[in-house]
Structure 1
Amino acid sequence: MNAKLLHFILITVLLSFIGCSSVKVSDYVSPNYSDSEIRAIEIQNISENLKEKPVESLWKAYLLKNTENISGTSQSSDEIQLFNTSANYCLDLYYQAREKNDIVNANRYYSSLSLLAPDSVKEITIDFSEDQKKLASLATSHDARNEENDIIQTKKVSDFIAGTVTIWIDLGIKVEKGVGYANRVIGSGFFIRKDGYIVTNYHVIEETVNPKYEGYSRLYIKLSSDTETRIPARVVGYDKSLDIALLKTEVDAPYVFTLGSSLNLEVGDTIYAIGSPIGLTSTITRGIVSSYDRQLLSTAAVMQIDAAVNSGNSGGPLINKDGEVQGIVFAGITDYEGLNFAIPVEYLKAIIPRLYNDDFFDTNDTQNNSISLPKEVTSAWIGAYGITYKEPGQLEGSGVQVLYTMPGGSCDLAGIKSGDIITAINGQKVNSIEELGFEMVKLSSKMVVPFSLADSNRKDIPVYLDVRPEYPTLQIRERDSDYNLMYSLLGMKLENASASKKNQFIVTSIVKGSIADESGFSVHDSVTLEKMEAKEDDGYFVIQIYTKKRKSGYLNVSLSIGAPMDSYQIF
Structure 2
Amino acid sequence: MRSQLLVPLIIFGVLVSCATPPAAVVTPEPMTAARYLEEGRKFLTLPTDLNFVHLLNAYQGKFEEETRLLLEAYEKKQRTLINHYKENGDLFKLRFCYNNVAAVRPIGVNEERDFYNAFVTLLRRQNYAATARYFEEEYKLSGSGNRTRPVFDSIIGYNRILAEIQVMIEYADDELIQRIKRPSGTGFLIDSRHVLTAYHVVEGIFALDTTRATVSLYVQNQRFEDVTVVAWDSLTDLALLELDRTLPVPFDSPDQLFGDSAALTQGAAMYCLGNHNGLVSTLTKGIVSSTDRKAPEVGSWIQVDAAVTPGASGGLMIGEDGKVYGMLVAGFLYEDINFVVPSSIILEVIDRLREKKRVLRPWLGLLCREDPSGSGPPVVSDVFPGSPLAPFGVKEGDLLTHINSTPVRTVVEAQRLINRLEAGNVIRLTFRTAEDTSLEFWVILDRRPDYAIFNATRIFNKLTSLYPHFGVELDHNRIATVSIAYQGRLHEIPFYKVVKVREHTDLYDLGVRSGDRLGILDDYYRNKNRYLELFHLPQGRKLNEIEDISNYIYRL
Query: Could you say whether these structures have the same fold, taking a TM-score greater than 0.5 normalized by the shorter chain as the test?
Result: yes
The answer on whether the counterparts of 1:532 and 1:544 sit within 8 Å (CA) in structure 2 is yes
Q: How does 1:452-471 map to 2 (within 5 A)?
A: 462-469=442-449
> Aligned-pair distance for 1:279?
4.4
CA deviation profile, 1:64-99 (whole Å, cap 9, x unmatched): 34254xxxx8899xx99x999999998998788668
Q: Could you say what secondary structure the match of 1:315 adopts? A: coil
Comparing 344-353 with 309-318, which one deviates more in the overlay? 344-353
User: Structure 1 residue 538: deviation in Å?
Assistant: 5.4
When normalised by structure 2's length, the TM-score is 0.60
Q: 1:138 aligns with which of 130, 134, 151?
A: 130
The answer to whether the Cα contact below 8 Å between 1:423 and 1:452 also exists between their aligned partners in 2 is yes
1:165 maps onto 2:187 in alignment: no
Structure 1 residue 272: deviation in Å? 0.4
Output the CA distance in 2 between the equivalents of 1:254 and 1:313: 23
CA change 1:441–1:113 in 2 (3 A) is closer
* Structure 2 counterpart of 1:200, from 185, 197, 204: 197
CA distance in 2, matches of 1:445, 1:511: 39
User: Would the aligned equivalents of 2:371 and 2:379 in 1 still touch at CA under 8 Å?
Assistant: yes
What is the alpha-carbon distance in structure 1 between the residues aligned to residue 450 and residue 495 of structure 2?
29
Change (3 A) 1:52 1:453: same
Which residue is 1:289 aligned to?
A: 288
Q: 1: distance between equivalents of 2:430 and 2:171?
A: 54
Amino acid at match of 2:162: V
Match of 1:386 among 368, 373, 377: 368
Report what 1:276 is aligned to: 275
Find 2:95's aligned residue among 98, 107, 125: 107
Relative to structure 1, the CA distance from residue 254 to residue 103 in structure 2 (aligned partners, 3 Å threshold; closer, same or farther) is: same
Q: Shift of residue 342 of structure 1?
A: 2.1
- Equivalent residue in structure 2 for 1:355, among 336, 353, 356: 353
In structure 2, the gaps of 5 or more residues are: 1-26, 32-39, 107-114, 135-144, 173-177, 461-474, 502-507
The 3-state SS of whatever aligns with 1:438 is: helix
Aligned residues with identical type, % of pairs: 22
Q: Is the 8 A contact 1:57 1:86 kept in 2?
A: no
CA distance in 2, matches of 1:172, 1:377: 25
What amino acid does structure 2 have at the position aligned with 1:275? G
Structure 1 or 2, whichever has the larger Rg, is 2
Gap change, CA 1:339 and 1:153, over 3 Å in 2: closer
State the partner residue of 2:359: 377
> Contact (CA 8 Å) 1:385, 1:404: kept in 2 or not?
yes
Of residues 433, 436, 446, the one that matches 2:414 is: 436
Partner of 1:330: 329
The 5 Å alignment of 1:41-52 reads none
Q: Which is worse superposed, 197-206 or 427-436?
A: 427-436
SS of 2:211 mapped into structure 1: coil
What is aligned with 1:320?
Answer: 319
After superposition, the Cα gap between the structure-2 partners of 1:130 and 1:327, relative to the gap in structure 1 and judged at 3 Å, is same
**Contact 2:330 2:339 (8 Å CA) reproduced:** yes
Alignment check: 8 A CA contact 1:496 1:506 kept: yes
Taking a change above 3 Å as real, the CA distance of residues 186 and 552 of structure 1, as seen in their structure-2 partners, is same
In the superposition, relative to structure 1, how do residues 492 and 470 fare at CA in structure 2: closer, same or farther (>3 Å)? Answer: farther
Deviation of residue 201 (structure 1)? 0.4
Q: Which runs of 5+ in 1 are unaligned?
A: 1-34, 40-45, 119-126, 360-371, 477-488, 564-571
> Aligned to 1:244, which of 210, 230, 238?
238
Match of 2:470 in 1: none
Kept in 2, the 8 Å contact 1:173–1:182? The answer is yes
User: 1:61 maps to what in 2?
Assistant: 55
Residue among 337, 341, 345 paired with 2:343? 345
Equivalent-residue separation in structure 1 for 2:338 and 2:170 (angstroms): 31
Aligned length: 456
Q: How does 1:170-569 map to 2 (within 5 A)?
A: 171=168, 185-192=183-190, 194=191, 196-207=193-204, 213-223=210-220, 227-230=221-224, 234-249=228-243, 250-255=246-251, 257-291=256-290, 297=296, 299-334=298-333, 336-352=334-350, 354-356=352-354, 359=355, 372=356, 375-389=357-371, 391=373, 397-405=375-383, 409-411=387-389, 419-425=397-403, 430-451=408-429, 462-469=442-449, 492=478, 494=480, 545=535, 550=539, 556=546
The C-alpha deviation readout for 1:327-359, integer Å capped at 9, x for no partner, is: 21123444x353433223333234446535xx1
How far off is 1:428 after superposition?
A: 5.8
> Aligned letter for 1:139?
T
Given the superposition, is the C-alpha separation of residues 97 and 88 from structure 1 closer, same or farther in structure 2, using an over 3 Å criterion? same
How far did 1:287 drift?
Answer: 1.4
| Cα distance in 2 between the residues matched to 1:63 and 1:181 | 51
Please, which moves more after superposition, 257-266 or 95-104? 95-104
Matched to 1:466, the amino acid is: D
CA shift in 2, pair 1:50/1:282, >3 Å = farther
